[in-house]
Amino acid sequence: MKKRTLGKASPLEVSEIGLGCMGMSHGYGPARDPAEMTKVIHAAIERGVTFFDTAECYGPYINEELVGKALAPFKGQVVIATKFGITIQGGTPGGAQVVDGRPEVIRRSVEGSLKRLGVEAIDLYYQHRVDPKIPPEEVAGVISELIAAGKVRHWGLSEASVETIRRAHAVCPLTAIQSEYSMMWREPEKALIPTLEELGIGLVPFSPLGKGFLTATIGKEATFGKDDFRSVVPRFAPENLAANQSLAELVCHLAAEKGCTPAQIALAWVLAQKPWIVPIPGTRRIDRLEENLGAANVSLTSADLDEIRAALDAQPIAGDRYPPALAARVGK
């Protein structure tokens, strides 16, 4: 697999497609068997993936433990990204999530993540959500100390505003910003992507397959269990699933033209936007992993991209991507 570089001031080389590991233990139904998920992670490595994404709050904690144990034999060969800044009340599944970016919380979080991941330093450490009560300069200062101490190598922000990115980057250069970005959510094109290009910061899109919708396997009658995050996402409410089927049909049409699957055309489109964009689709199945990685072999010309952009511009998306309580935590 080809490599891409995230960031210019503090560059980090990773595989051009990474693996989002959250769904193995959190967010999309019950946690899966760690042994089976380890097989998926190892299959990714065998196919050239070097970039793996997790977070302290996934589970909570058990996803970092899974990723750490699975990648233990490959130290020095892979890049692990994890996150701080969302604490779980009670530290147990189902506990309320609280955004907390206080310096003492960051210092405590990094020690926990290092232990669970079984590493001496975290390759890429994101602030999971910006805490509006803590100035970004203060967070960046703490990260600078952790980098100087050898506990963190690179850092980033997730779902942050352009203003916060600029302020944080001025204190401690950012390597990457994580944000949702896909054919289904193109808001980053307005201000985020131009800012990252200006500053020389990489973009790591999560949910590049629209939380599964862009695979064209989620019909208008689909339902989701209470332990599936999509059960509370307005975009996946019955009326919006029905309204958005035209997007699924568009993706199927584009895929048929290129002789690939809908998931592959959706990922290839993300990859084609900028050479410093590295999507991290998640999966719990080796066959889906192989399908996703096959997107790297789908070539899109400038004419293709113009055609797709025009089609997407004409395609309204029904339903917000977050319920109100979660929407209030992004863009800070």
Q: Mind telling me the catalytic residues?
A: 58
Which H helix or E strand runs over 6? strand 3-6
CA distance 69 to 60: 16
Q: In 3-state terms, what secondary structure has residue 98? A: strand
- DSSP-assigned letters across all residues of 167-232: HHHHHS---EEEEE-BTTB-GGGTTHHHHHHHHT-EEEEE-TTGGGGGGT---TT----TTBGGGG
Which residues sit opposite 156 in a β-bridge? 126, 176
Give 64's DSSP letter.
Answer: H
Spatial contact of 51 and 278, defined as CB atoms under 8 Å apart: yes
CA distance 165 to 161: 6
Which residues sit opposite 127 in a β-bridge? 84, 157
Among 52, 50, 51, 74, smallest CA distance to 63 is for 52
Give 295's DSSP letter.
Answer: G
Q: How many CA atoms lie within 13 Å of 23's alpha carbon, on the beta-carbon side?
A: 18
Residue 5 in tokens: 């570089």
Q: In 3-state terms, what secondary structure has residue 158? A: strand
CA distance 34 to 70: 9
